[in-house]
Structure 1
Amino acid sequence: MYQIIAIIFLAWVILQTRTYFRLSHIPGPFLAKLTNIPRFTWVLSNKAHDIHVSLHRKHGPLVRFGPNMVSVADPKEVSHVYAFKYPWVKSNFYSALQMKPRGKPIPGIFAAQDEAVHKLLKRPVAGAYAMSTLVSFEPYVDTTMRVFCDELERRFSDRQVCDFGKWLQMFAFDVIGELTFSRRLGFLESGEDVNHVMANIWETFKKTSLVTQMPWLDRVWLNNPIQRWRRGGGASPGAAFAMACVEERRQKTTDKNDWGFNTRDFLSRFMEIEAKDRTVPPYALAAWASSNITAGSDTTGIFLRTVFYNLLKNPNTLHRLLEELDSAAAAGNLDDLASWKQTRELPYLDAVIKEGGRIHPPFGLPYERVLPKEGATICGEFLPGGTVVGMSAWVVHRDKDLYGEDCDEWNPERWLRYDAERRRAMENALLTFGAGHRSCMGKHIAYLEMYKVIPTLLRRFEFELVGPDEGGAWDVKNRWFVMQEGFLVRLRKRTGVSD
């Protein structure tokens, strides 16, 4: 018995030694070279993004985050790590993000590791997410914006305290409901998290973010039989909600070619593709619909919170933006319900939105890839095949050489003060929605909402942050909480702006 234990221990020591020396030339915390436990605890602390930044500033452009994981910080490597041609495959980080009804993984467009599966899922629906197509959805965003403004005015315009972070996410959720299912999901009218969908999705994200750091935990923690039973069979909250909407739509169809009352929404397109394209796998409809719900609301809500919070915390930038908006409106170039075409011509609004995506990208962990068997040279260092590499948007967006010495601060002016070449380099390094051929397909949905709702709300209402003495969150140390969970405001209707 003792001999067996000794043999197992010796094998473990040899394996750990080989693992340690394989990437020993890459700097990083000592324990991270032996185990993934450190990066698990970084995520558990809710400060992984800040820890990643500090580690790179201490050790340089390459830092060993785990026994086989190297984080890359140099913005010039973005096109290398996330190439369009011959892309590197996604690591097991993404296995934790797959849907698992009844315990069986179903790959989605974002989480699929197999490039052939990803292509099979993306090709049929890519056109629906193109900006040229989404502009045709603008009337549905307008409908939701009208409800949003009316509800804010009805409930809070007498300077009642508003949980604005919550309302911004409810807006994002109802917009994606309009675009996907041709109807709002009732968040704005009720003023509540319908069926606790938002809270459940957020709780799921917090757990899966931990599992991404140690993927083997998925089976023993999140996806064991007891947890699947508690979830009613294993479906995630977002997936279950989306599939309920799909079943509701199926019941409304009158024949094989009738896809409901609105043939222009995402679900109609998805169902038509499912019926006509025999190459589509049987799980595709579930993957498409649930991806819209789980990814389309939370990230946009965080993005909106970031912009509004930083504008209110920095009144000089808010004042400059309001001057631009009011000037455009006075010249007849901006309606009270802002349009995409109008707002794309506003340079300071564009700078504010870019800065929001830079200062607080919604995804706070590295986008991991696996090096091919021949390995690769990154930042002048050779990394052997099979090494997992990744770039964090939080780290890359704080590169002082590219974004300036003030890169830790909110400053939309950085997008206006440099020449065209420098701005292109800054834009190319933005990882707000990833990079390369696996960048987020839904990014155009988020931008459509952002460029419309920010000027519409700012021209209709005056906002004031509620201070900490009244339960608000002012301290920048609370940044993670503020952007992920929300913040409080008082609001009143601006004078001189029509309904």
Structure 2
Amino acid sequence: MAIVDYLLHLDWISTLSLLGVFVLLAHFVPYVVDPFCIRSNGISGPFWARLSDAWLGWVSAQGHRSEVVHELHKKYGTFVRIAPNHVSISDPDALQIVYAHGNGTLKSDFYDAFVSIRRGLFNTRSRPEHTRKRKIVSHIFSQKSVLAFEPHIRQHVRELLGQWDMLCDGGKKGVSGNEGEGGWRGREGRVWFDCLPWYNYLAFDIIGDLAFGSPFGMIKAAKDAAPVAVDQAQAIASYGAEEGSMDAEKPVCAMVELPAVQILNDRGEYSASMGVLPPWCRPLVKRLPWYAKGNKAVKNLAGLAVAAIAKRLAYPTDRTDLLSKLQEGKDDDGNPMGREELTAEALTQLIAGSDTTSNSSCAITYHLAHNPSVQAKLQKELDEALGLDDDAVSTFEQVKKLPYLQAVIDETLRVHSTSGIGLPRLVPEGGLVVNGKTFPEGTVLSVPSYTIHRDKEVWGEDADDFRPDRWFEKDQALLQRAFNPFSFGPRACVGRNLASMELLIIISSILRRYEFVLEEPGKTFDTREGFLRKPLECRVGVKRREAVIL
């Protein structure tokens, strides 16, 4: 009681001073005690990263975490301390240890920042719960199952080509009131525009069609917009609690049209930055203006999913898509997903399937426009394989075995590294040994894809360069050991087959029909990173290839 009385009677200067001492001790003592054996293992890193999670939070919020961590590995070596209990490991062999089946590692509390409606396959941390969910979902993404989605994908690619044909033919100018965004005719007989928004529209329409039963209509409208439920509970009530129970007399729930792509961007940056902060401080940090914006994006994204799922369940259909297969899925006890879980999983597919596809498509277009000889070589392969087929949209069967097309895609996934940050894993009871260093339970380990994709021992001295021919010159087993675009182990991307099919169809169809040059040939490919590395823009000059004008 005497201590409490003393504290209550301190003046504000003494109180702040005492608080500062406590904060200092709370960070300095763990560093000295070294409970995770990071210092004793001889692992170093930025000064503030040794003492506080705030350093990584600040770096993540700046939008270039992968590049910053990559430079740290150049300075400090294979092991870098990026937080008091977090070690980044830039060794391809560590993938087989940190993320492997049966090693006991778990997802860290980083993933708690990605939960909105409820935990889905991506952000559940419970091993039994993840196993249950993966059993329901994994069969949906088998190679055989995803072939059923091909007609939907090709339909939306065809719609995009129609829009670009109009731009190339001068039949349409301007998008969203801005002629520069929609395209304008100019030098060299080309139409010039930023292709990134178009790839966003395409990816959202495809995954919206598959995950929610109908596209958002972004390609047709040439606009980033989607309906979002103002009140999630009201959305469910308005569309009826049971499938097929739409009541025409009930008022439709309040909707607003919001920019879904921007919401997803804001949510990714917010969650990736919030996730590296200690759980105890997150409720306080959410009140800061930048984080408050991101928190709102999380809610809006959930509102988008709730509205779309509620509408789909009110109007049953026999179409084959991701949602219908999710509805059919059952766990080992024969139990299907409930509405809330179904909505959460559909939202997971929307997030995973839109960003990755649009980012990668844009990056591929940039690198091909930046490397005309690579573009010409790819188009030669496409012309020889597809001939003068009247259908402008490739089929998966036509392009799935084209080696140079696959090399171009793989090389872009390596250089661009859409998922570039090291995904964090908690060391289990009993510890984990990586490259001769022992880490005790509770240590967070990660292997950054951005850095291992630039390992010169694997990829060569020109590892920073875009050069698809390297995939034919080097030992494939060696390259695959260090190639990690979809993660590794039991938590690897379950939608890999779908993503691969989408990219093969999209890139082959577009490059067979058009040729690209950069508007500013010397301009770098600028990105900003949240959970994924996202391009900021890609302005290109486009024209129809004469050989395929039908």
Equivalence for 1:171:
202
2:380 maps to a residue whose letter is: E
Question: Counterparts of 2:265 and 2:291 in 1: how far apart (Å)?
Answer: 17
Kept in 2, the 8 Å contact 1:460–1:493? The answer is yes
Partner residue, 2:33: 18
Match of 1:308 in 2: 365
Q: Does 1:206 align with 2:262?
A: no
- Structure 1 residues 429, 237: closer, same or farther in 2, change over 3 A? farther
* Residue 279 of structure 1, CA deviation: 6.4
Distance 1:127 1:274, change over 3 A: closer
Confirm or deny that 1:386 pairs with 2:403: no
> How far did residue 329 of structure 1 move?
2.5
- Taking the aligned partners of 1:430 and 1:115, their CA distance within structure 2 comes to 25
The count of aligned residue pairs is: 477
Normalised by the length of structure 2, the TM-score is 0.80
Give the structure 2 partner of residue 147 of structure 1: 159
2:88–2:446 contact (8 Å) kept in structure 1: yes
1:120 — aligned with what?
132
Q: Which residue of structure 2 aligns with residue 79 of structure 1? A: 96
Corresponding residue for 1:249?
Answer: 312
- CA-to-partner distance for each residue in 1:432-488, whole Å, 9 max, x for gaps? 1211110111222221110011111111112222228xxxxx522735599522211
CA contact (8 A) 1:338 1:452 kept: yes
1:486 is aligned to 2:537: yes
Give the one of 461, 469, 489 matched to 1:405. 461
Letter in structure 1 aligned against 2:507: I
CA contact (8 A) 2:106 2:127 kept: yes
CA gap of 1:231–1:404, structure 2 versus 1, over 3 A, is closer
TM-score normalised by structure 1 residue count = 0.88
Q: Which residue of 157, 172, 191 maps to 2:222?
A: 191
* 1:413-446 alpha-carbon deviations (Å, 9 max, x no partner): 111112xxx2123123222121111011122222
| Aligned match of 1:218 | 282
Contact 2:97 2:103 in 1 (8 A): no
- 1:82/1:435 contact within 8 Å kept: yes
1:377-410: CA deviations, max 9, x gaps? 1122111221100011101111111111111111
- CA distance 1:459–1:435, shift in 2 (3 Å): same
Q: Percent identity?
A: 26
1:179-222 CA-partner distances (Å, limit 9, x unpaired): 22343210000000013011111111111121122143432234
146-155 or 485-494, larger mean C-alpha shift: 485-494
2:65 counterpart of 1:48: yes
> Residue 45 of structure 2 aligns to a residue in which SS?
coil
Q: Which residue does the alignment assign to 2:238?
A: none
Counterpart AA for 1:476: T
* Structure with bigger gyration radius: 2
Q: Does 1:326 align with 2:389?
A: no
Q: Does 1:338 align with 2:353?
A: no
Contact 2:107 2:125 survives alignment (8 Å): yes
Letter in 2 for 1:122: R
CA distance in 2, matches of 1:281, 1:71: 38
- 2:481 is the counterpart of 1:428: yes
2-structure distance, mates of 1:40, 1:393: 19
Query: In the alignment, is the contact (CA less than 8 A) between 1:75 and 1:396 conserved in 2?
Result: yes
Contact 1:263 1:269 in 2 (8 A): no
Q: Any residues of structure 2 matched to 1:1-40 within 5 Å, and which?
A: 5=18, 8=22, 12=26, 13-19=28-34, 22-24=37-39, 25-40=42-57
1:96–1:215 contact (8 Å) kept in structure 2 = no
- Displacement of 1:11 in angstroms is 5.7
For the 8 Å contact 1:91–1:370, the answer to whether it is kept is yes
In structure 1, how many angstroms separate the alpha carbons of the residues matched to 2:23 and 2:527? 44
Alpha-carbon RMSD = 2.9
For 2:370 and 2:311, how far apart are their aligned partners in 1?
43
1-structure distance, mates of 2:283, 2:496? 31
Question: How far apart are the structure 2 equivalents of 1:345 and 1:281?
Answer: 39
Secondary structure in 2 matching 1:109: coil
Q: Which deviates more from structure 2 when the two are superposed, residues 445-454 or residues 179-188?
A: 179-188
C-alpha distance 487-388 of structure 1, shift in aligned 2 (>3 A): same
- Structure-2 separation of matches of 1:269 and 1:10: 53
Q: Which runs of 5+ in 2 are unaligned?
A: 8-17, 171-189, 226-257
Change (3 A) 1:281 1:378: farther
> Can you list the C-alpha shifts for 1:353-372, whole angstroms capped at 9, x where unaligned?
11111011212321100111
Partners of 1:19 and 1:68 within 8 A in 2: no
Against the structure 1 CA distance between its residues 9 and 307, is the aligned structure 2 distance closer, same or farther, given a 3 Å change threshold?
closer
Moved more, 279-288 or 377-386: 279-288
Unaligned runs of 5+ residues in structure 1 are: 253-259, 469-473
Please tell me whether the aligned partners of residues 366 and 525 of structure 2 are also in contact (alpha carbons under 8 angstroms): no
- Take 1:266 and 1:364, find their aligned partners in 2: how far apart are those partners? 27
Pairs within 5 Å for 1:276-287:
277-278=334-335, 280=337, 283-287=340-344
